[in-house]
Structure 1
Amino acid sequence: MSIFNISVLSLVFVLSCSSGDSDSNDVPTNLNVDISIIGSDTNNPNGNGSGTVVVSASANNAVRYAFRFGNGDQISSETGTTEHTFLQNGTNTYNIAVWAYSQSGAFINESYSVDVFKSDEAFATLVFSDEFEYEGSPDNQKWHHQIIPPNNGSWHNGELQHYTDREENSFVSDGSLKIKAIKEQYSYNGSTKEYTSARLNGKVAFTYGRVEVRAKLPSTAGTWPAIWTLGANVDETGNYFGDQYGSVGWPLCGEIDIMEQTGWNKNQTISHFHWGDLNTEEYMDTGGETAVAQASSEYHIYAMEWDSESIKTYVDDTLVFELPNSTNKPYNHEHYLILNIALGGNLGGDVPTNFTEDIFEIDYVRIYQ
């Protein structure tokens, strides 16, 4: 199976335009406009059905910008970036007008024509799945074992394990994926740990969609299972395909914790968001929690629904938390999915001395757009 790359396609226009009546020395010059159709790729050049575009403009000697989408009102922006969602269903051609203004009000402007796809049918297309109807190691066309910690040191949050790519720690059998945490001395790159586990990065980069993971969680104290995403532009742990690294660090890449379970309360799960404000770089976080009965003995569906307006997380049909989305959050670009169990650390807590092993069992993983 091929690796999916669901990405934003940027249409870049570089030009110099006409101006209003003013001293020519005061007129902005070299208007550059980038129009990104969200979810656009070679198979879906007009977008993923959200109808959303992000427009960024820059010009010499400009102090503010304005945009008009179709026949709508002019929208002002000091930063030169704005987002707009078209509401008409189907693929339609729209006019986007852009102005760059100087301090005195002199301007240059240009118009662009773009085709954008909009659909009210939410999350109808399956873009990635693993039903685990095979035996042995996880499919390496769909999953990457991340075993190298940041800077070849230890993992974050005081975690106690080494991650491995061995079948002892992750394997598929009887229709499900098992990620197993084991108490054993294991050395990697000169460091010896008392526990091993596995961290699987999904080989799909996607912007917006619905993620579903049907899973049973470990029951033993000290275990910290998680279903989460990172921005695909992260450089610190960004080898999600094994050979790719991004350009920004955490938290500017954005993190979505669809599900985490602490090591000391196995009757509830947490959903949390960590990000850096794209304008101020200030660290932000928020989230919620919900009770989950029989989380270890019964399957539950842990899900996320993500678009340009909000990110919602669920356990089965129960809403856990909703985060409003916006252009100053790093949740309008590609993310990738991660499944893992950590031992100890911030949310694992103390590992009992009699711990031997425990399993995070996943029935299926599905991503829709």
Structure 2
Amino acid sequence: MKKYNNTDMKMYKLLLLCFFVPTLAFGQKWKLVWSDEFNYKGKPNEKFWSFEKGFARNEELQWYQDKNAYCKKGVLVIEARREKVLNPEYKKGDTNWKTSREYAEYTSSSIKTEGKKEFLYGRVEVRARISTACGSWPAIWTLGKDKEWPSSGEVDLMEFYRINNVPSILANAAWGTNVRWKAKWDGSNKPLSHFTEKDADWASKFHIWRMDWDKDFIRLYLDDELLNEVDLSKTINADGSNAFHQPQYLLLNLAIGRNGGDPSQTKFPLTYEIDYVRIYQQK
């Protein structure tokens, strides 16, 4: 009898998804409109993904670079490393956090579908295994294609970091206010212990994060447990527009430090593995 590897099984499941329209929650029928199963070797498919570069946001410690994201054995691996990288934007005596550091002490990757794969409403599923080590800040999130943040709208399908030093899983949405770069948040968080008390091996396993999005609500799930429900009648920007009535694009990244905690005593490398990303639309 032929033995099938993980990639073979993923392709078989994807074919089933394509040929049999799934009837999912509330009797709705969904059609798979795009996916990346990562069943190839090397960098993420450039038709779908581009890379962020350098220092990005939140005064995090990592330097984003291409070589920390790669596909093998049917998964995308984003790897954070403790390694020193010269900052070409360094300016001696500068106070800006992006230019005041001569070196980055950590590297990682952040990829996004901006300008390549954007979607309005539907279901997003991401199966992933995250790092829960101190200093780790993995995320699955979306941003709107138009307007400046936060009026563009942000959805955090998943963030893992420490709140008052308690490891936590977050599911959030943000939109604009009348103050530039100040967001209004609808956030939800659960301590990691909420999940590990049910399954002591939770952190070593893959899990499915999901967003169901229509014109009225965004609902965020982890392994079918509802974590947050966002009422879109309330997500109105200061200019009267609705942040979540426009297409969004997807980001996957592994940040280090800041909300993730102090990584100085953590053993590196850290890995964040994504088995697949799938987007459905209602049929």
Distance 1:123 1:210 in 2: 11
Residues 281/298 of structure 1: CA separation in 2 closer, same or farther (3 Å cut): closer
Question: 1:121-175 CA deviation, whole Å, 9 max, x = no partner?
Answer: 7461212201111111111111111115xxxxx4322200110011xx1111111
Per-residue deviation, 1:292: 2.9
By relative contact order (CA 8 Å, sep 6+), the higher-ranking structure is 2
* Aligned mate of 1:158, from 55, 59, 69: 59
Question: 1:228-285 CA deviation, whole Å, 9 max, x = no partner?
Answer: 001111xxxxxxxxxxxxxx3211111101100005544x41111111158x997311
Question: 1:60-93 CA deviation, whole Å, 9 max, x = no partner?
Answer: xxxxxxxxxxxxxxxxxxxxxxxxxxxxxxxxxx
Does the 8 A contact of 2:135 with 2:266 survive in 1?
no
Distance 2:87 2:31 in 1: 41
Structure 2 spans left out of the alignment, 5+ residues? 1-25, 91-102, 237-241
Task: Say what the alpha-carbon RMSD is for the aligned residues.
Answer: 2.3
Residues 222/128 of structure 1: CA separation in 2 closer, same or farther (3 Å cut): same
Q: Which residue of 1 aligns with 2:10?
A: none
Distance 1:358 1:210 in 2: 29
Alignment of 1:50-129 (within 5 A): 122=28, 124-129=30-35
* Aligned mate of 1:330, from 243, 250, 253: 243
Q: Which residue of 1 aligns with 2:117?
A: 204
Higher percent of residues as helix: 2
1:339 is aligned to 2:240:
no
The alignment-based identity, stated in percent, is 38
Indicate the SS of the match to 1:227. strand
Q: Which residue of 2 aligns with 1:186?
A: 85
Q: Which residue of 2 aligns with 1:319?
A: 226
Distance 1:285 1:220 in 2: 26
Residues 350/207 of structure 1: CA separation in 2 closer, same or farther (3 Å cut): same
Alignment of 1:1-369 (within 5 A): 122=28, 124-147=30-53, 154-166=55-67, 169-191=68-90, 192-202=103-113, 203-233=116-146, 248-263=147-162, 264-266=165-167, 268-277=168-177, 283-290=183-190, 291-293=194-196, 294-326=201-233, 328=236, 329-345=242-258, 347-369=259-281
Does the 8 A contact of 2:56 with 2:64 survive in 1?
no
Structure 1 spans left out of the alignment, 5+ residues? 1-119, 149-153, 234-247
Letter in 1 for 2:195: V
Distance 2:210 2:261 in 1: 25
Indicate the SS of the match to 1:193. strand
